Amino acid sequence: MNRFKQFIFNGILLTATSLAMRGIGVSFNVYISNKVGAEAMGLFTLISTVYGFAITLATSGINLASTRLVSEAMGELSTAGIRTVCGKTPAVRTVMKKCLLYSLFFGSLSSVLLYLLSPALSLTLLNDSRCIFSLRLLSLTLVPISLSSALSGYFTAVRRVYKNAATQVIEQLIKIFLCVFLLTFFFANDVESACICVVLGGVIAELLSFLFQSIIYLAERKQGSKDSLSPDGRLVRKRLLGIALPVAFSAYLRSGLITVEHILIPWGLERSGASRSHSLAAYGTLHSMVFPIIFFPSAILSSFAGLLVPEIAEARAAGRKDAIERIISNVFETALIFAIGTAGIMMCFSYELGNIIYPASDAGKYIRMIAPLIPVMYLDTAVDATLKGLGEQVYSMGVNIVDSLLSVILVVILLPALGIEGYIITVYFTEIINAALSITRLLVVSEFKPKIAKRVFAPLFCIVISSTAVKYISMLPLFDILTGAPQLIIHIIMSALLYLLLLTLLGALKPSKLKRGFTLLKEH
């Protein structure tokens, strides 16, 4: 299989897996929201923000470190003429031993801190005593999560990522089963018990997932060879800290800012005059219902964008500026066509999406408010992947930190005065700044000169015509046969097909040009 075919195959595989997982996640969110309500979803999301920072501390950059150290160990053995079988050598075992000890230390530290600080965090930061027990339950998962992160890096390094994927799928299915079971038989019809049921299901699933992953790793480890010498443990430890700690410190800062931002959102909404219950409901609707729908189609774009990182890096190392410019040009064009089409369809059918997926909620209203921002967010995702391929990941990390800092400042200023609309403004402002900084950096380092106007106006014109036409056609008596979700799916498909047809007729979409743009993948 040549590079181009492999790229397409991997892209389709990753896209299918990502869409399936996101689809399951959205369906699960629908079930949970219908079962426990928007307020409980808001409280659970608030708990998850603190838990997210605890996970960042627990993992502390170990995934990247284990991936790179194992890869380097295998590469050095290969250069020395020593055959490796999926990393089953004493050298790799030494690396993994150090990585697992590192994970055990930070996982234990994070677990103890979260358990002991749960009351203070709940009463002081989250301003809700109902969070205490859930946070203490979640503290039990931090050591397994940290160790799993190291093992995940190992499987990535030895090119067995399907084992990571299998573990994630199993974990998700177990979590859903347990949460449904607990909510069916132990839900006491109050917000706190709802959060405990969902959290407990996730905790048990996380522990079983780690057990499954550990068994796979130990089975491989027992089959290892004994024909190579182990490296100096002190050098491995020094290299490990040199890779993991810089990543960890930057992650602490960004995750901390995100946590503060999310904690401040209900606080700001309460200051605007909303009740605690209404504030949590609005927060839960946005973050647990609306944003998963907004970002659901981005799985297609992000899967292929991620695969371009090594291709651009290889072209950069070879000094092939023409190939880099060709790839970036096609990334821009494809991302804008996809994102503008998605935004138009979501705007046109926002209320239908909200009413069908999350009935009796304000999801449809918020989808329409956020949808115009989709082109900016999706293009930023593609640009970030391109920057990583060009070796600009540190810059991207800095931009993300600035984004988070601005979000915190604007949430404090705007939410007490404007309520939920103030948060929408915050999202718009920070996303546009983030994208502008990233695109500017890309243009500087690549010397690429995009024709933004041409690539924006044609898709914009086509999606307005196609979605509006389908909207009016759907009012005809002929289309009253189907209702609800089947009718909405048909309307979305019709809009997408008409959109692609109009783009092709206007010459804005040329599949042959797109394929030629990625000839780099065939040439190496």
Q: What is the pLDDT along the chain (524 residues), one digit of tens a residue?
A: 555 565 666 667 667 777 777 788 778 878 888 787 778 888 888 898 899 999 999 999 898 888 878 877 776 655 555 555 454 567 788 888 899 999 999 999 999 999 999 999 999 888 888 999 999 999 999 999 999 999 988 887 776 766 777 787 888 889 999 998 998 888 878 888 888 999 999 999 999 999 998 998 888 766 555 545 556 667 888 888 888 888 788 889 888 988 888 888 888 888 888 887 888 888 888 888 889 899 988 888 877 776 666 567 666 666 777 777 788 888 888 889 999 999 999 999 999 898 888 887 788 999 999 999 999 999 998 888 788 777 676 788 888 889 999 999 999 999 999 888 999 999 999 999 999 999 999 888 877 777 776 788 889 999 999 998 988 887 776 666 667 788 888 889 999 999 999 988 888 776 655 555 445 444 44
Q: Tokens 């904690």 label which residue?
A: 263
Element (H, E) at 156: helix 142-157
291 part of a folded domain: no
285 part of a folded domain: no
Q: What is the pLDDT of residue 524?
A: 46
Q: Which of 275, 306, 329 is the last residue of a domain?
A: 275
286 part of a folded domain: no
Q: Are residues 375 and 476 in the same domain?
A: yes
289 part of a folded domain: no
337 part of a folded domain: yes
292 part of a folded domain: no
- Contact call for residues 245 and 62 (beta carbons, < 8 A): no
170 part of a folded domain: yes
Q: Are residues 196 and 65 in the same domain?
A: yes
Cα distances from 403 to residues 119, 172, 376, 397, 410, in angstroms, run: 30, 30, 14, 10, 11
pTM to 2 decimal places: 0.77
Q: Are residues 182 and 107 in the same domain?
A: yes
- Contact call for residues 110 and 57 (beta carbons, < 8 A): yes
Q: What is the pLDDT of residue 159?
A: 65
430 part of a folded domain: yes
Q: Are residues 20 and 47 in the same domain?
A: no
Q: Are residues 227 and 115 in the same domain?
A: yes
Domain count of the chain?
Answer: 2
Q: What is the pLDDT of residue 134?
A: 93
DSSP string, 178-193: HHHHHHHHS--SSHHH
Q: Are residues 490 and 511 in the same domain?
A: yes
Q: Are residues 319 and 188 in the same domain?
A: no
Q: Are residues 103 and 203 in the same domain?
A: yes
Q: Which of 381, 373, 393, 391 is nearest to 305 (CA)?
A: 381
- Contact call for residues 49 and 262 (beta carbons, < 8 A): yes
Q: Which of 275, 310, 333 is the last residue of a domain?
A: 275
Q: Are residues 495 and 423 in the same domain?
A: yes
Q: Are residues 126 and 201 in the same domain?
A: yes
Q: Which of 275, 309, 327 is the last residue of a domain?
A: 275
| Domain encompassing residue 362 | 1-35+297-524
Q: Tokens 């605690």 label which residue?
A: 276
Q: Are residues 234 and 309 in the same domain?
A: no
CA distance 309 to 12: 16
Q: Are residues 168 and 260 in the same domain?
A: yes
Task: Count CA atoms closer than 13 A to 2's CA, side-chain side.
Answer: 8
Q: Which of 114, 408, 424 is nearest to 267 (CA)?
A: 408
CA distance 278 to 34: 16
Q: Which of 169, 209, 152 is nearest to 24 (CA)?
A: 169
- Contact call for residues 431 and 380 (beta carbons, < 8 A): yes
CA distance 425 to 157: 42
Phi and psi (nearest 5°) for 481?
Answer: -65, -45
